[in-house]
A and B are shown apart, each in its own frame.
Chain A
Amino acid sequence: MKGIRLLKVEHLTKVYEGGTVALEDVSFEVPDGEFLAIIGLSGSGKSTLLRCINRLIEPTEGRITWDGVDITAAPQEELRRIRRRIGMVFQHFNLVHRSKVLTNVLQGSLGYVNPALSIINKFPKEQVRRAYEQLDRVGLRDQAPKRADELSGGQQQRVGVARAMMQNPQIVLADEPVASLDPVLAHSIMQYLEVINRDDDVTVLCSLHFLDLVHRYADRAIALKDGHLVFEGPPNEIDDEKFKEIYGKEAERVG
């Protein structure tokens, strides 16, 4: 199944207001079904790159195409239709704290459901059933009626994953999904992403801090440094020399 659709990033540049260059001329391709790790120091442009793909951040220059559709040129309506097929998982989970866990998961279906009815918090039965199903997958079915902020960090991130999966995504963008979690929880979340990637055939773009996670889960890795693409290849090609190039001369490998 791999390699049918293609996410193509071409000459992507993002300059923030005030002149900070977050990305400069970044180009790469992601075949369908791949688990791609994005590594680099804090501030190297990983988050910006991921957010340019679903246009939470508007790129300054360059093109991102997916399955032949130019995401960067899509008008609002079409952008929403593209976004609903791209799930996203965040470093700080980004759940709505005061809402129920179930509501947080149902948010994943907002792009599909009747906008008028969803405003009064009415979702089709089918979507509610699916929401429970997603919660089941991450082992949180019994937490559904709780408020999101009553959950622990690891549980919150699992809700985040369930919300992304609720979208029936073909791509999941994971922005440092485990950076706020301890190593044990980190592996559990990464395993969910792995299952999604392997069993549901979802393309995963995941930015990561720890190289051992990259080695363990990623099919391929790209590395960013100061907004430039400095490495692209299988994770095992990142040797000490490459590592120093990506993370700087003084860096020590910790993982």
Chain B
Amino acid sequence: MAEPTPTKSKRPFGRSVLILLAIFAGVVVYAYGFSVTDVDLSQIRSETRREQLTRVMRALARPELVTYERVETNTDTPFYMPCPPGGFTPPEVDPFSRHITVDPACTEPGGTITVHGENFSPNARVTVYLVPPSGDLELTLKSGLIADDTGSFTVTVDTRERPSDQPQTIRVKTREPIGSIFKPVTVESIDPNTGATVVVRSPRISKAALDTWDKIIETVFLALLATTLGVLIAVPMSFLAARNLMKDITTPLIKLGLQLVAAPVGVAVGVIAARWAQDISGLLTDSVLLVLLGLILLPGLIVLALRWAFPAVELEPPTLGLRISRGLVLFVAAVASIVVLFLSASLLQRFGDWVAPRLGAFEFLGAFSTTIGDILAAIITVIAALAGAGVLVNLAGKLASWMRNHLPDAITRPLAVPLVGLAFALVAVIIGQGIDWLYQIGDPVKIIWVPAAVGAAFGMFLAIRAYKREVVNIGLTVYYMARTTFNAIRSIEPLVMVIVFVVWVGIGPFAGSLALALHTIAALAKLYSEQVESILPGPVEAVQATGATRLQTVVYAVIPQIVPPYISFTLYRWDINVRMSTIIGFAGGGGIGFLLQQNIRLLNYQAASVNMLAIAIVVASMDYLSSRIREKIV
């Protein structure tokens, strides 16, 4: 043990200067910050601002959950004219209920009195009458008077020459709300639209509250749909953005070239196959019976074909002839599958159309079936195109492997260079078409030949650079592309995205859910992929070692490990989406935000307060619910 030597820490001079400079820099930063954010206390102190704030805050504190019917109401107080012998003491008033007081409490006929009223409706229209003892006459003393914000008024009026030794009455007529939440009443009222007399309850749930209920339901489901759609796409995407899964995927140059050429061809094949399938299913869709028959028979045949083409256990590599016949059978099975999809879509549409009018209040279930059918019909071609690309890319890969195994290196290596060049030229031309769509160049030299040349040059350059290693790290390329895309999409708030979707699908919750879904895809794919990156590598290694394919490895070693965090993130995102969907309406995305924005613009703060209350309740309960589910599952 060394002797503890007490050292007096001496701060070097340079360090002190540095700290001083840092403090000075901090002051400058905040000073500039104050100046650009217009920090202005005189605004806060201003009297008019304070009054406005008070008014808004008071309105917000009174959410207009119920509306009261207003009926003409009399508020009376006894009054003597002239004063009786011995004077007159007016009855006690309850300071918290609606009342009027007269000062003086009695007067000579025609004298002047001051009438003071309290606890009337704010800004109520007040008329003051004198009612002589007979009670069948009301003499107007003052009309057109308006009570103040707190429902008080004071008015000085001249009485009439109507002496009597009997008590008379000073009467104030106002339109006052009737009934209470605990004791509602029914009254007759005139419908402002039709002019007819209707019987209504008072108080009753306000229009603001009813609208809020409608829109908050819309909001919750908007968030649900956006989250569902987002999760469905984000889950597969997240694997592409996981470095640990992607980093080892390398592909030989020749394979890359062949596959890149094969992909667009595959898309074309898929589209053509989809068209065939549509024609075939078109023959069947005329009759429901044929559709049903097709839906029963075809899946059976497809399963049989799959069973035959993928035997349960395969010990020896299959022969070439077997492979080719398998390929043909699978192609037929694929076309049959597309036919099945078309038939299902048609069946869903028919069923929906048929059942909707028969369901009454549950008509939306029928409409749902029809819409799902529509969606299915719309995406079949896309599915077929992707599947076609997948199959052809796979075949190109096999061809490349075969070439590498059976042809001498001296042929395959140099062959890869023009092949990769061709592939990149193809990709560049496709990009060129996209640019042409955006900028409408229309010049074939600029949109076909120049991109082709640039692409070919780039591809060949790449191929020559990787010539010696013979492989390129395609996995990392895909990884970086996926990451970049997600980050770019994520950086644009859904509130901004919704503007584009509003143009595309119109103002409303559909635009909102699409915008939220797109953002959810990017955000969740990133969060998910980080979870994939943090899994234990051991099980992955173990499953790989058994001879499992890449897909099997993902299913057996990766997915079980990521289920808890995925669920947790999905719930978290749902939570965020509920919150986002409450404001997405500000930009036209439907949901309660639209209502809230409208009420604020119309200065209808009491209705806005109802909206905010609903948002607070929904967000708080979602938060509670999702944390409970998370606890349960994870």
Q: Which residues of A contact B (CB under 8 A)?
A: 54, 56, 75-77, 80-88, 90, 92-99, 103, 107-119, 121, 124, 126-127, 160, 163, 166-167, 173
Residues 301-316 of B contacting A (Cβ, < 8 Å)? 306, 310-315
User: Would you call B561 an interface residue if the criterion is a C-beta within 8 Å of the partner chain's C-beta atoms?
Assistant: yes
Minimum CB–CB distance for A193 against chain B, Å: 16
Closest 10 CB pairs of A and B: A111-B547, A84-B547, A94-B538, A83-B547, A94-B542, A110-B548, A88-B545, A80-B547, A98-B560, A124-B312
Q: Which residues of B contact A (CB under 8 A)?
A: 306, 310-315, 317, 401, 404-405, 536, 538-539, 541-549, 551-552, 555-557, 560-561, 563-564
Contacts of B556 in A (CB 8 A): 96, 99, 103, 107, 110
Taking a contact as CB atoms under 8 Å apart, the answer to whether A114 and B310 are in contact is: yes
Contacts of A92 in B (CB 8 A): 538
New contact pairs (8) apart from A90-B542, A107-B556, A113-B312, CB-CB < 8 Å: A75-B401, A83-B546, A87-B545, A88-B542, A97-B561, A99-B556, A114-B311, A117-B310
Q: Choose among B311, B404, B539 the residue with the greatest number of A CB atoms under 10 Å from its CB.
A: B539
Contacts of B555 in A (CB 8 A): 118-119, 121
Q: A88-B542, A94-B541, A117-B310 are in contact. Are A75 and B549 (CB under 8 A)?
A: no
Total A-B pairs, Cβ < 8 A: 111
Taking a contact as CB atoms under 8 Å apart, the answer to whether A75 and B552 are in contact is: no
Contacts of B563 in A (CB 8 A): 98
Chain A residue at minimal CB-CB distance from B310? A114
Contacts of B315 in A (CB 8 A): 112
Taking a contact as CB atoms under 8 Å apart, the answer to whether B545 and A56 are in contact is: yes
Q: A96-B560, A116-B310 are in contact. Are A84 and B546 (CB under 8 A)?
A: yes
Contacts of B549 in A (CB 8 A): 80, 110, 115
Contacts of B557 in A (CB 8 A): 96, 107
Contacts of B541 in A (CB 8 A): 56, 90, 94
Q: A56-B541, A96-B557 are in contact. Are A110 and B311 (CB under 8 A)?
A: no
Q: A94-B538, A107-B542 are in contact. Are A77 and B401 (CB under 8 A)?
A: yes
Minimum CB–CB distance for B311 against chain A, Å: 7
Taking a contact as CB atoms under 8 Å apart, the answer to whether B314 and A112 are in contact is: yes
A-B CB contact pairs (8 Å), 28 listed:
A56-B544, A56-B545, A75-B401, A75-B404, A81-B317, A87-B545, A88-B545, A90-B542, A93-B538, A94-B541, A96-B543, A96-B557, A96-B560, A96-B561, A98-B561, A99-B556, A107-B543, A110-B548, A110-B556, A111-B547, A114-B312, A114-B314, A115-B552, A116-B306, A118-B555, A124-B313, A126-B313, A166-B546
Contact of B547 among A97, A114, A121, A167 (CB under 8 A): A167
Contacts of A117 in B (CB 8 A): 310, 312
Contacts of B405 in A (CB 8 A): 75
Minimum CB–CB distance for A17 against chain B, Å: 11
Q: A90-B538, A114-B311 are in contact. Are A108 and B552 (CB under 8 A)?
A: no
Contact of B545 among A83, A121, A124 (CB under 8 A): A83
Taking a contact as CB atoms under 8 Å apart, the answer to whether A111 and B313 are in contact is: no
* Interface SS majority for chain A: mixed
Q: Choose among B311, B401, B538, B561 the residue with the greatest number of A CB atoms under 10 Å from its CB.
A: B538
Minimum CB–CB distance for B559 against chain A, Å: 9
Minimum CB–CB distance for B596 against chain A, Å: 43
Q: What's the Cα separation between A26 and B280 when bound, in Å?
A: 63
Chain A residue at minimal CB-CB distance from B543? A107
Contacts of B547 in A (CB 8 A): 80-85, 110-112, 167
Taking a contact as CB atoms under 8 Å apart, the answer to whether B404 and A115 are in contact is: no
Q: What's the Cα separation between A56 and B399 when bound, in Å?
A: 25
Q: Choose among A85, A95, A113, A124 the residue with the greatest number of B CB atoms under 10 Å from its CB.
A: A113
Taking a contact as CB atoms under 8 Å apart, the answer to whether B546 and A167 are in contact is: yes
Taking a contact as CB atoms under 8 Å apart, the answer to whether A110 and B313 are in contact is: no
Q: What's the Cα separation between A107 and B544 when bound, in Å?
A: 10
Contacts of B548 in A (CB 8 A): 80, 107, 110-111
Q: What's the Cα separation between A85 and B316 when bound, in Å?
A: 13
Q: What's the Cα separation between A9 and B317 when bound, in Å?
A: 26
Minimum CB–CB distance for B424 against chain A, Å: 24
Contacts of B311 in A (CB 8 A): 114
Q: What's the Cα separation between A107 and B557 when bound, in Å?
A: 9
Q: What's the Cα separation between A85 and B545 when bound, in Å?
A: 10
Minimum CB–CB distance for A46 against chain B, Å: 15
Chain B residue at minimal CB-CB distance from A118? B552
Chain B residue at minimal CB-CB distance from A84? B547
Taking a contact as CB atoms under 8 Å apart, the answer to whether A163 and B546 are in contact is: yes
Contact of A163 among B313, B542, B564 (CB under 8 A): B542
Minimum CB–CB distance for B205 against chain A, Å: 49
Minimum CB–CB distance for A145 against chain B, Å: 15
Taking a contact as CB atoms under 8 Å apart, the answer to whether B312 and A115 are in contact is: no
Contact of A110 among B536, B546, B560, B561 (CB under 8 A): B546
Contacts of A110 in B (CB 8 A): 543, 546-549, 552, 556
